[in-house]
């Protein structure tokens, strides 16, 4: 064992004919940590994962695991497990046989396999599902089985490629929280790639933001969240708007933040308040089942998205006071 990060990527590039899909990526994952690589579709996430797994040759750089350069080590000798968006279960095998598949390949005895399978099914919340066939499972249950199967051989590293993306939104959120707990309980070191910031925040402790083959920012989630390095990072993290110049100063002042630089705003950073610090005129009112959304024209700051309580009766043209929720505003250095 070595101290420091267990997985290291130094200046890793992957080139397909004509495309530099991964461009000089620098990444580190500590033992037992979960890192989410977050980026839009086509930015190179799957390619990066495949390179770490040894399924894609790298054209430059170095990948080391536990101090060892992986260059000469084929996929099946890396001790890593992969999990995909569609769990890719064996349709003709029961849940127990899917989960125990790799253990049987290792010629583990029947009793030992059964014991380990029950332990894994309990870990993913599917005790008693041993004899079910994949076709009878919901999407969420299938992904839990896929996760149990991936964890069966105690992988040194679990690589997850958009593991929850095929599920509907509410299930995705609850399974994301479970995934975090399961990985934590199992002590698994994991690298997950996703295009969904909520999923990344729910599962991982650290994130790396990737655009066009390059990692542009990485760190603990709270830190990246609090200071996105560029407007496109902010919008990818879920911020609705980036303010610059005088308008940024105005809103920063209202939020009690130091002035200077750009400000990224969550849609709900601005609320309608009894006594407020910004004043504006309601230009548009829309309602979702949860909240009333407003576009408010604030002199000096332009049109800002705000939220109000559903019971507030606001009309277009009305003048309102806004208060700023500083926890939903990020101060950017640029
Ligand atoms: P992501 O997973 O972030 O959506 P990918 O890693 O799948 O992105 O793809 C990154 C880029 O590499 C894309 O431009 C994609 O078209 C290209 N690409 C992916 N796989 C191949 C391949 N086997 N051959 C050529 N180009 C590829
Ligand atoms: Mg992909």
Question: Is 226 a domain residue?
Answer: yes
- Point out the domain boundary residue: 189, 206, 232: 232
| Residue 194 to residue 236: CA distance in whole angstroms | 12
Is 2's pLDDT higher than 60?
no
Residues 143 and 280 reside in one and the same domain: no
Whichever domain contains 165, its CATH number is 3.40.50.300
Tokens of 5: 């990060």
What's the pLDDT score for residue 288?
85
Q: Ligand 1 centroid to 112 CA: how many Å?
A: 40
103-113 confidence digits (pLDDT tens): 999 889 999 99
Residue 275: which pLDDT band, with cuts at 50, 70 and 90? low
The binding-site residues of ligand 1, defined as CB within 6 angstroms of any ligand atom, are 16, 19, 21, 39, 41-47
Pick the last residue of a domain from 212, 232, 252.
232
Burial of 58 (0-12, 13-18, 19+ CB in 10 A): buried
What confidence category does residue 289 fall into, taking pLDDT thresholds of 50, 70 and 90?
confident
Q: Is residue 184 part of a domain?
A: yes
Which of 4, 69, 48, 327 is CA-nearest to residue 214?
48
Nearest residue by C-alpha to atom 25 in ligand 1: 16
CA of 167 to the centre of ligand 1 (A): 22
Q: What is the DSSP letter of 325?
A: -
- In this predicted structure, what is the pLDDT of residue 276? 65
Distance 298 CA to ligand 2 centre (A): 41
Nearest in space to 64 (alpha carbons), one of 21, 26, 17: 26
Would the CA dihedral through 152, 156, 160, 163 be positive or negative? Answer: positive
Residue 4: band (very low, low, confident or very high) from pLDDT cuts 50, 70, 90:
confident
Residues 55-67, mean pLDDT to the nearest whole number: 97
Query: Above 80 in pLDDT, residue 118?
Result: yes
Do 220 and 275 fall within a single domain?
no
Confidence of residue 1 (pLDDT cuts 50, 70, 90): low
Question: Do residues 217 and 261 share a domain?
Answer: no
Burial 59-89, CB ≥16 within 10 A → b, else e: eebebbbbeeebeeeeeeebebbbbbbebeb
Q: How confident is the model at residue 27 (pLDDT cuts 50, 70, 90)?
A: very high
Same domain for 205 and 276?
A: no
> Stretch 179-186: mean pLDDT, rounded?
93
Ligand whose nearest atom lies closest to the CA of 45 = 1
From 85, 86, 87, select the one nearest 45 (Cα to Cα).
Answer: 85
Choice from 15, 16, 82 to test ligand 1 binding pocket (greatest atom count within 8 A of CB): 16
298, 320: one domain: yes
Work out the average pLDDT over 162-180.
90
Identify whether the C-beta of residue 261 lies closer than 8 Å to the C-beta of residue 331. yes
User: Does residue 244 share a domain with residue 179?
Assistant: no
Q: Measured in angstroms, how far is the CA atom of residue 235 from the centroid of ligand 1?
A: 23
The reported pLDDT for the residue numbered 3 is 67
- Please report the pLDDT score of residue 261 as a whole number: 84
Whether residue 249 is found in the same domain as residue 225: no
- Mean pLDDT computed over 215-233: 93
In a domain, 243, yes or no: yes
Q: From the CA of 85, how far away is ligand 2's center (Å)?
A: 9
Q: Which ligand 1 atom sits nearest the alpha carbon of residue 161?
A: 2
**Mean of the per-residue pLDDT values of the chain:** 93
- The ligand placed nearest to the CA atom of residue 22 is 1
Q: How big is the CA angle at 73 (ends 70 and 76), to the nearest 5 degrees?
A: 120
Taking the CA of 42 as reference, the closest ligand is: 1
In a domain? residue 23: yes
If one counts every other C-beta atom within 10 angstroms of the C-beta of residue 154, the result is: 12
Mutate to test the pocket of ligand 1, among 15, 18, 21, 56 (most ligand atoms within 8 A of CB): 21
Q: Ligand 1 centroid to 16 CA: how many Å?
A: 8
In a domain, 24, yes or no: yes
pLDDT at 166 over 90: no
Q: Specify the residue with its C-alpha closest to ligand 1, atom 19.
A: 47
The Cα-based distances of 199 to 168, 179, 290 in angstroms read: 12, 10, 21
> Residue 292 is part of which domain span?
238-332
Residue 38: inside a domain, yes or no?
A: yes
- pLDDT tens, residue by residue, 5-14: 999 999 999 9
Choose one of 17, 19, 215 to mutate for the ligand 1 pocket test, by most ligand atoms within 8 angstroms of C-beta: 19
Of all protein residues, the one whose alpha carbon is nearest to atom 1 of ligand 1 is 42
How many folded domains does the chain comprise? 2
Q: Are residues 13 and 102 in the same domain?
A: yes
CA–centroid distance, residue 161 to ligand 2 (Å): 7
* Last residue within a domain, chosen from 180, 210, 232: 232
User: Do 158 and 188 have their domain in common?
Assistant: yes
Q: Which atom of ligand 1 has the smallest separation from the CA of 195?
A: 3
Q: For a pLDDT cut of 90, what percent of the chain falls above it?
A: 79
Which bound ligand lies closest to the C-alpha atom of 214? Answer: 1
Lowest average pLDDT, out of 153-157, 182-186, 271-275, 279-283, goes to 271-275
**Residue 193 tokens, joined:** 């790639």
The residue contributing the CA closest to ligand 1 atom 14 is 42
Kindly state whether residue 1 falls inside one of the protein's structural domains.
Answer: no
User: Directed axis angle between helix 169-186 and helix 110-123, to 10°?
Assistant: 130
Per-residue pLDDT tens over the stretch 79-100 = 999 998 887 899 999 999 999 9
**Residue pair 192/182 in contact by the 8 Å Cβ criterion:** no
Distance from the CA of 193 to the center of ligand 1, in angstroms?
14
> Does 2 map to a domain?
no
Q: Are residues 13 and 39 in the same domain?
A: yes
The answer to whether residues 135 and 169 belong to one domain is yes
Same-domain check for residues 220 and 243: no
In the DSSP assignment, the letter for residue 326 is G
Atom of ligand 1 nearest to the CA of 40: 3
């Amino acid at each position: 064992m070595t101290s420091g990060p267990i997985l290291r990527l130094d200046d890793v590039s992957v080139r397909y004919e004509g495309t530099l899909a991964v461009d000089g990526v620098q990444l580190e994952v500590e033992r037992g940590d979960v890192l989410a690589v977050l980026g839009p579709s086509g930015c190179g996430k799957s390619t990066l994962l495949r390179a770490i797994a040894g399924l894609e040759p790298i054209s430059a750089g170095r990948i080391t695991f536990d101090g060892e350069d992986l260059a000469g080590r084929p996929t099946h000798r890396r001790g890593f497990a992969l999990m995909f968006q569609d769990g890719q279960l064996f349709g003709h095998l029961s849940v127990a046989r899917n989960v125990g598949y790799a253990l049987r390949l290792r010629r583990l005895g029947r009793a030992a396999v059964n014991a380990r399978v029950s332990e894994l099914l309990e870990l993913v919340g599917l005790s008693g599902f041993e004899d079910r066939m994949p076709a009878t499972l919901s999407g969420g249950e299938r992904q839990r089985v896929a996760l149990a199967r991936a964890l069966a051989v105690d992988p040194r590293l679990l690589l997850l490629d958009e593991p929850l993306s095929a599920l509907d939104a509410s299930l995705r959120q609850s399974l994301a929280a479970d995934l975090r707990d399961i990985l934590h309980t199992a002590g698994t070191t994991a690298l997950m790639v996703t295009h969904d910031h909520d999923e990344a925040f729910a599962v991982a402790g650290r994130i790396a933001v990737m655009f066009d083959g390059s990692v542009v920012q990485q760190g603990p989630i709270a830190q990246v969240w609090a200071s996105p390095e560029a407007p496109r990072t902010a919008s990818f993290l879920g911020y609705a708007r980036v303010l610059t110049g005088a308008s940024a100063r105005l809103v920063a002042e209202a939020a009690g933040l130091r002035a200077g630089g750009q400000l990224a705003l969550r849609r709900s950073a601005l609320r309608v308040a009894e006594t407020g610090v910004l004043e504006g005129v309601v230009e548009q009112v829309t309602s979702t089942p949860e909240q009333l959304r407003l576009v408010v024209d604030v002199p000096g700051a332009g049109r800002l998205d705000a939220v109000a309580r559903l019971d507030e009766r606001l009309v277009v043209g009305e003048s309102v006071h806004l208060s700023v929720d500083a926890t939903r505003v990020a101060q950017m250095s640029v």
